[in-house]
Structure 1
Amino acid sequence: MNRRSFLGTAGALSVGALFRGAAAFAQDATPFSRSDVVDAARALAAKPFEQPGPAVPDALLQLSYSDYQKIRFKEERRLFTNPPSGFAVDLLHPGFIYRIPVEIYTVENGKATKIPFSTDLFTYQGIDPPAEDTPLEFSGFRGRTPLNSPDYMDEFLVFAGASYFRAIARGQVFGLSARGLSIGTADPAGEEFPFFRTFWLERPGDGRMVVHALLDGPSASGAFRFTIRPGDETVMDVEATIFARVDIKTLGLAPLTSMFLYDAKERDGYDDFRPGIHDSDGLAMWNGGGERIWRPLHNPRLLQISSFSDNGPRGFGLIQREKRFSEYEDLEALYHKRPSLWVEPIGDWGKGHVMLVEIPNVVEIHDNMVAFWRPEQPLSAGSETSFTYRLTWGWDAPATSLLRVTRTLSGQGEQEGRRRFVVDFSTPGVSVGAPATDFTANISASAGAVRNVVVMDNPEIGGIRVAFELDPQGNEAVDLRLDLLRQGAPGGEVWVYRWTE
């Protein structure tokens, strides 16, 4: 499943018709507030779904990736640079895989003005531009700010393709993505990709950028507000209201999408000079009971779906914990600089499940890891649901006094058919300050048997190493859990893993 190459569809309904008449957001400025986006989403949900228009011409959709990259937004036409705001915005051209038309407005002094598409906004290097009279909209936008140097406007934010968006913090390169909403992920009936069809960009100020977005799709519509603060961590506060057109049982809130091909614990079948290839290497969770949990990611032979029940989750995220260049040796992809992304619910999300979907993958350009929150109660047709959360694009999960899982290794056990696991716990840069005799490891398995458990000092990292063997006893999949206790109390993150044959 190639989520980075998601192909939308196109049809013919302008969102302008939903706001005080069809011409409400023409080029004349019109009063605007978040309530307008909520009203628009509500109006969309009250009608049968229609794809937005105008359709993107085939000539643009047939562009290759390299040809599409030759279309550039003109630097002198960037938004919010005159007068300077500390930010700039490039608008993105339709074509290649981007076939959903996206209307974009700027908001200043409480009034919205639509930006009409024009080929004059772009340069076309060796590419024939569309005819001037071709009706087109944009496909998204790119945000810039002097993130790493005061004299250069770094790209730090992109909204493009369905409801996908991604960001980075200072010193990072782009990696995993987030989405506004997921529906039917890994469902045998097929996945639905809701999409952002309109953006309203408030003039930035005070180190922050505010983006309003109107989401639509066959099953639901929605109104989103993103308050974005880039820096050492790039933080997004997200307010969303979802309107269900139909009953939705397979809803995914705050969905995250990443790539994991292999790392040191599993690289069979990969003849590659790089020791690891992944945008994320683990799912971190902080559940309502206070447990901090680490689940290493796995590229399975068959589709795997894991569900972690919870009540009032404190957070979850896809994390790129391994930061050593030596574990990747890739000077182009720079996997050691990819961001981690943490979701922090604001308010009580109640009962539900953190879901992890691991999709078999053989090529690093394809995303194959998906994590999201699924509420216990499905959305009913005609319902209106609001939720708020914070996204932090940074380097790891929130700090904890517990030892973190810093490495997971696996290999052949002492006897044929057994698997040996080695799990390292540490606080990077800080010695554990206690001998291994202060620690015990409680390990359970959903099937098979756990044998030869050993807890030892690991002086190379100033931490603790736990080693054990799994005897699957003919089972094709086994869920494992390791609790590291320090004098009877939790001493480290809870390590959980699904072994598959």
Structure 2
Amino acid sequence: MSLTRRHFLQLSLAVNALYALRMPAAQANPAKLQFGPATPFSFDALKAMARDAATRDYTPPPRPDPAIVQQIDYDAHGKLQYRKDAALWAEGGSAYPISFQHVGMFFPKTVKMNVVEHGQARSIVYDPDLFAAGPDHVARQLAPEPSAFAGFWVHEKRGGPDWKKLEPWATFLGASYFRAVGANGDQGQIGLSARGIAIAPGTSNPEEFPDFVAFWFEPAPKPTDPVIIYALLDGPSLSGAYRFALSRGKGVVMNIESALFLRKDIERLGIAPLTSMYWFSETAKGAGSDWRPEVHDSDGLAMLNGNGEHLWRPLNNPPHISVSSFMDKAPKGYGLFQRDRLFDHYQDGVRYHLRPCAWVEPLGDWGAGAVQLTEIPTDDEIHDNIVAMWVPKEPATAGKSYEFKYRLSWLNEDPSNFPLARCVATRLGNGGQPGKPRPKGVRKFMVEFLGKPLDALAWGEKPEPVIVASRGEISRVEIEPVPDDVAGHWRTHFDLKADGADPVELRCFLRLRDKAVSETWLFQYHPF
């Protein structure tokens, strides 16, 4: 896995903090955006550009002098604050200003920026004076060409609180990574990331990271209008054209269209990928690994399959790379969620309990394939080790093309209409009976569910746990209300004995009078 997204998280927070502390003195002649000549532009033209690029050998995007860029480390990059007065639409023309990010050690490739109005595109000209860095900053040694833009931020609307002092609500920086705030964006909360595409994560081949090599921005005249962004994707194995319609509300909703054109065969093509970090949680924690009870940006994969079944798969930090495929046809949605919202469960000043969730809703029939979850071992929170994505069933071979449309919602919870109880906790411990010798190789699982229709059960009425294991023996199954006086809060616990080291796939849901009253809990257990 790349560290791009984790470094971006650190840098984005650092840049905003440093901006407030290190505002430079006003220049006599501050830089203003300069634009190139106008040329016709449309999404169809961008698709044709991507299609044509896929017929030629791949050429990496230009890089400013690598020897200089490598010196723009964490601290040096933090001093390269973009001058907000020079932001695109800082004074008008669109409700949401856009500022730009500089290349650096972690983002060494240049990205072309363009503005589109009335079907005409003009390039945005890079000028080192757009960034508030002193004359002795190492970035001043870069030549004017190629451009040293690496990404951009979409800022809050003008006309309210000072947008120059607020966190951006959408960011695109590094390869094809992008992210947005959820409903806690006013508290500076970002977390997991999305990507334009994922190529071969969790395979025996090195993972490939194509780049968004150019962006085009259309204005949003009113705050209720979406910000329209077009992007050209390019990499060794494919090229692509993207259209993003970004809407700012309680959280952020992105309507995304993509057209992909393959140069080469791709072992594992990931559509609408989400990337996150999971180190440990209440489920299982090694003694003394960290002082905090939980550390993760997301704690589970939620799915709504083509048959309308809601699934919840708690994340693992496995002993080795693990890839789980959930076969489906015409999926209705999937996402990486942070369900545990209690600060006491984290005790961390970065406020993991406020991290956003991201939900992918296919628009149209995506056909047959699988939601695929890749989990990579990690021993620290600095690594992104989780990928969730859609993998089409048919092989991704050279010369093929694809078009996908989907809605990506950055919120605090599942945006789908969910009528059943949710799984809210998974805990593991030693199996057997208290006060007696614990049998070797037996693990106890405790799974909690909360919500309707469990809160409407009659006195003395109990749901029935339905538990299935891919191998091993299930015993000591019990169901009870959690003794916290919270209506609709139930837990089931059971023992599993499984010999050998092969993973065990577990499945559980609650039913009442032959009807499911909870989503389906899935878990991959690695015996030890």
TM-score under structure 2 length normalisation: 0.87
User: Is the alpha carbon distance of 1:69 and 1:469 closer, same or farther for their aligned partners in structure 2, counting shifts above 3 Å?
Assistant: same
Equivalent position amino acid for 2:377 in 1: P
CA distance in 2, matches of 1:251, 1:269: 38
Match of 2:23 in 1: none
Contact 2:423-2:519 at 8 Å conserved across structures:
yes
Q: Alpha-carbon deviations, 1:134-171, whole Å to 9, x = none?
A: 42321111111149964434311110111000001332
Match of 2:19 in 1: none
SS at structure 2 position matched to 1:211: strand
1:61 aligns with 2:70: yes
Contact 1:80-1:204 at 8 Å conserved across structures:
no
Contact 1:453-1:469 at 8 Å conserved across structures:
yes
Show the 5 A alignment for 1:425-440.
425-427=449-451, 431-434=455-458, 437-440=461-464
Contact 1:56-1:101 at 8 Å conserved across structures:
no
User: Is the alpha carbon distance of 1:429 and 1:154 closer, same or farther for their aligned partners in structure 2, counting shifts above 3 Å?
Assistant: farther
Q: Alpha-carbon deviations, 1:55-87, whole Å to 9, x = none?
A: 443222232212211111001111112226321
2:502 to 451, 455, 476: 476
1:161 aligns with 2:174: yes
CA distance in 1, matches of 2:141, 2:205: 40
1:274 to 275, 292, 316: 292
User: Is the alpha carbon distance of 1:492 and 1:354 closer, same or farther for their aligned partners in structure 2, counting shifts above 3 Å?
Assistant: same
CA distance in 2, matches of 1:350, 1:73: 44
1:341 to 358, 361, 378: 358
1:495 aligns with 2:526: no
CA distance in 2, matches of 1:430, 1:142: 43
CA distance in 1, matches of 2:150, 2:319: 35
User: Is the alpha carbon distance of 1:389 and 1:129 closer, same or farther for their aligned partners in structure 2, counting shifts above 3 Å?
Assistant: same
SS at structure 1 position matched to 2:46: helix
CA distance in 1, matches of 2:248, 2:380: 31
1:307 aligns with 2:325: yes
Q: CA deviation at 1:287?
A: 0.3
Contact 1:315-1:342 at 8 Å conserved across structures:
yes
Moved more, 122-131 or 472-481: 122-131
Contact 2:5-2:193 at 8 Å conserved across structures:
no
CA distance in 2, matches of 1:132, 1:246: 35
CA distance in 1, matches of 2:507, 2:380: 30
Contact 1:106-1:112 at 8 Å conserved across structures:
yes
Q: Alpha-carbon deviations, 1:249-287, whole Å to 9, x = none?
A: 310000000000011111104442321100000000000
2:395 to 378, 401, 423: 378
Match of 2:440 in 1: 416
Contact 1:146-1:154 at 8 Å conserved across structures:
no
Show the 5 A alignment for 1:26-105.
27-83=36-92, 85-105=94-114
SS at structure 1 position matched to 2:125: coil
Match of 2:138 in 1: 128
User: Is the alpha carbon distance of 1:473 and 1:164 closer, same or farther for their aligned partners in structure 2, counting shifts above 3 Å?
Assistant: same
Q: CA deviation at 1:205?
A: 2.7
User: Is the alpha carbon distance of 1:204 and 1:127 closer, same or farther for their aligned partners in structure 2, counting shifts above 3 Å?
Assistant: same
Identity %: 37
Q: Alpha-carbon deviations, 1:76-121, whole Å to 9, x = none?
A: 1111122263211111101121112100001122211101111010
Q: CA deviation at 1:450?
A: 0.9
Contact 1:212-1:223 at 8 Å conserved across structures:
yes
SS at structure 1 position matched to 2:68: helix
Q: Alpha-carbon deviations, 1:417-461, whole Å to 9, x = none?
A: 211111111129993544573411111111111111101112423
Contact 1:61-1:98 at 8 Å conserved across structures:
no
2:230 to 175, 192, 212: 212
SS at structure 1 position matched to 2:510: strand
Equivalent position amino acid for 2:451 in 1: T
Q: CA deviation at 1:5?
A: 6.2
User: Is the alpha carbon distance of 1:325 and 1:5 closer, same or farther for their aligned partners in structure 2, counting shifts above 3 Å?
Assistant: closer
Equivalent position amino acid for 2:317 in 1: N
Match of 2:4 in 1: 4
Q: Which runs of 4+ in 1 moved over 6 A?
A: none
Equivalent position amino acid for 1:183 in 2: I
CA distance in 2, matches of 1:385, 1:43: 15
CA distance in 1, matches of 2:157, 2:282: 36
User: Is the alpha carbon distance of 1:432 and 1:279 closer, same or farther for their aligned partners in structure 2, counting shifts above 3 Å?
Assistant: farther
Show the 5 A alignment for 1:194-233.
194-206=210-222, 207=224, 208-233=226-251
Match of 1:403 in 2: 421
Q: Alpha-carbon deviations, 1:333-389, whole Å to 9, x = none?
A: 110111000000000011101000000001101100000000001233222211100
Aligned pairs, how many? 483
Moved more, 149-158 or 306-315: 149-158
CA distance in 2, matches of 1:30, 1:210: 18
1:193 to 177, 186, 209: 209
Contact 2:93-2:221 at 8 Å conserved across structures:
no
User: Is the alpha carbon distance of 1:433 and 1:233 closer, same or farther for their aligned partners in structure 2, counting shifts above 3 Å?
Assistant: farther
SS at structure 2 position matched to 1:454: strand
Match of 1:20 in 2: none
Match of 2:21 in 1: none
Q: CA deviation at 1:26?
A: 7.4
Match of 2:314 in 1: 296
Match of 1:171 in 2: 184
2:155 to 133, 136, 144: 144
User: Is the alpha carbon distance of 1:164 and 1:148 closer, same or farther for their aligned partners in structure 2, counting shifts above 3 Å?
Assistant: farther
